[in-house]
Amino acid sequence: MIGRFTRSGTLAKVNAFKLAQVGGAGVLIVLAVISEYAADFPHQLVIGLAVASLCFTGFPIIWGAFRGLARLRSNVDELISIAIVASMILGEWISAAVVAWIMVLGSLIEEYTSQRARRHLEALSASSPDAALRVEDDGRITQVPVSELKPGERILARPGDVIAADGVIEEGQSQLDESMLTGESVPVDKAPGDRVSAGTINGSGSLVVRVERTGSESTQGRIVQLVEEAERHRAPILRAAEAYAKWFTPTILLLAALVWLFTGEPLRAVTVLIVGCPCAFVLATPTAVVAALGRASKSGILIKGGEYLEACSKIRVVALDKTGTLTTGNCRIRDVVAFNGTSPEQLLGQAARLESGADHPLARAIVKRARQAGAEVAGTSIHREAGLGISEVGSGEIHPWRIGNRRFIEGHGVQLDPEAERRADSLRAEGYGLLFVCEGNQLRGMLTVDDQIRPEAASTLASLRTAGYDDLHILTGDSEAVARRVARHLDVPPERTFAGLLPEDKYHFIESLEREGRRVLYVGDGTNDGPALAVASVGVSIGSRENTVALETADVVLMRDGLAGLPLLVDLGRATTRTINQNLILFGLLFNAAMLCLSGLGVLTPILGALGHNAGSAAVVLNSARLLRYRQTPFSPP
């Protein structure tokens, strides 16, 4: 029944007790039918067997309807309850028992089918181990509950073990199966210095891991929380369906009364009550949404709620950040150009000192290049101006060091001399990013930054164009030359490429499109794109096991750390909306209307009505379950 499918967004589990109840009720019905047609058995025995069967099936339905009414909550079980009670009053004991048995059996079949949609999501929780092997300071190995692990402690992961916490490998090499988190079936090579995530499975080597995050703070824990949140989020179309269902019950009661009044046959009215239960209508949306969430999760796409699936079907504009989104984010420092007596090593050392506390791809590239050059990397207190640069603070220096873009250093009174201007223009014309390093108001040098375009970026954007999304935009805080170089490679026209944008500029750009009614899907890196991700109809972040910020700021996270899942996301959004509409129109409305007409005309008996009703509900669940095996199809314009 409906009530068993809409509890807090969670589908009930089929268990042995329920199956035993249905099996026992079925045996009692068979005995009642035999007794009915056997001359040697009294009629009271038939009634007794039917009532015994109803104790397993019908009376729980009636009790559920009564409790709903007591709490002033409308429950469509009321219609079936009235039909069962009316059948008993009319002396149709076997019909009452069979109707209740069919309804409960149908709900079990629907529940079993619906569970498949949650199987991958539930596996995320089930994959976490209860205990871990902690490496003590004296080298001893102690088994402890995972809940007792603390950041900074070390754990041992043996071959075949499930990693108990997020952390960094200190010793050992292995291959990790990360399919539970990313959907990627190929094991990933791991070595000292690499990060690992809770819930992933260690391969053939032993690893010693320094714990960083545990429990609900780990990547897996946050994903589980977000999956649970996704099932609580209701799509707008679901809220409309529930509002419709609220008025449906009194309408069916009135229709049944009219059928009885005009035909004088109460069994026709009973059949109307049975087929009139709007189970198919209310199941139409949640079953499709849960199936789509499961399908997306298997491909490494984490969607935080059905509302975002529905929003994907209405997208007209796709805007993408550049650094870390269209590009790999694995920046490299190409040229080190020093001025005014500063050596390249000193320039790199000062740049790395300012960037050492950041976890941005560019910061990691600067620190890496400095270490390769043998420069000393020491941290310092800094002040960061989002999208511009970093200043040294609190060091007592009269002339603090700074690193940032042209706008940033000019804002602090630094002017380029003709030689520096010429070199900067030359490097910028080649399409490389420039970072300026200065001491006080004196320029000390420049770093050129090269960021590789993601290998899947061109094919992803081509697929989106084939889908009808020609309105593609690139938004970046980088220079015009760098943005144009990336845009040329990806066939994005110059008029849709916007450079030199601060985070608030991206926010206002997307907000203006949204105000015009042009629904925007924005793809960012989840770190400094928070405002833009929030204002877009659908905010998509390219996440990684390390970047849990992406899990919190975006509506959708592509957990495979790439753009390849983006076409599937928009296609799955359309497919989900189509499936919901099919469920609502074909089964929720047309099929239900046909069943009501046949019931009013006396073609259907209560038993046939119950069979037909469950056939419609099962059809909805099966139609939604097709999304679990959904394959991306050739696109058609939205």
Task: Let me know how long the chain is.
Answer: 638
Query: What's the CA gap between 262 and 588, in Å, rounded?
Result: 26
Q: Name the residue among 291, 321, 310, 286 with its Cα closest to residue 526.
A: 321
Please say whether the beta carbons of 548 and 222 come within 8 A. Answer: yes
Selection from 22, 109, 106, 250 nearest residue 612 by Cα: 106
Please identify which of the residues 321, 451, 525, 555 carries the catalytic annotation: 321
Q: Which residues pair with 142 in a beta bridge?
A: 134
Helix axes 58-70, 77-89, angle to 10 degrees: 130
Closest CA to 3 of 73, 85, 83: 73
Q: What is the distance between the alpha carbons of residues 587 and 616, in angstroms, rounded to a whole number?
A: 6
Reduced to 3 states, what is the DSSP secondary structure of residue 327? strand
3-state DSSP of 183-212:
CCCCCEEECCCCEECCCCEECCCCEEEEEE
Helices (H), 264-360: 266-275, 279-298, 306-312, 344-355
- What span, in angstroms and rounded, lies between the C-alpha atoms of 389 and 369? 19
> 372 — alpha (psi -120 to 50), left (phi > 0) or beta?
alpha
Q: What does DSSP assign to residue 3?
A: G
The verdict on whether 77 is a catalytic residue reads no
Mapped onto helix, strand or coil, the DSSP state of residue 266 is: helix
* Burial class (CB within 10 angstroms; exposed 0-12, middle 13-18, buried 19+) of 263: middle
Could you tell me which of 102, 116, 109, 123 has the C-alpha nearest to residue 53? 102
Q: In whole angstroms, what separates CA 619 from the centre of its chain?
A: 26
Q: Please give the positions annotated as active site.
A: 321
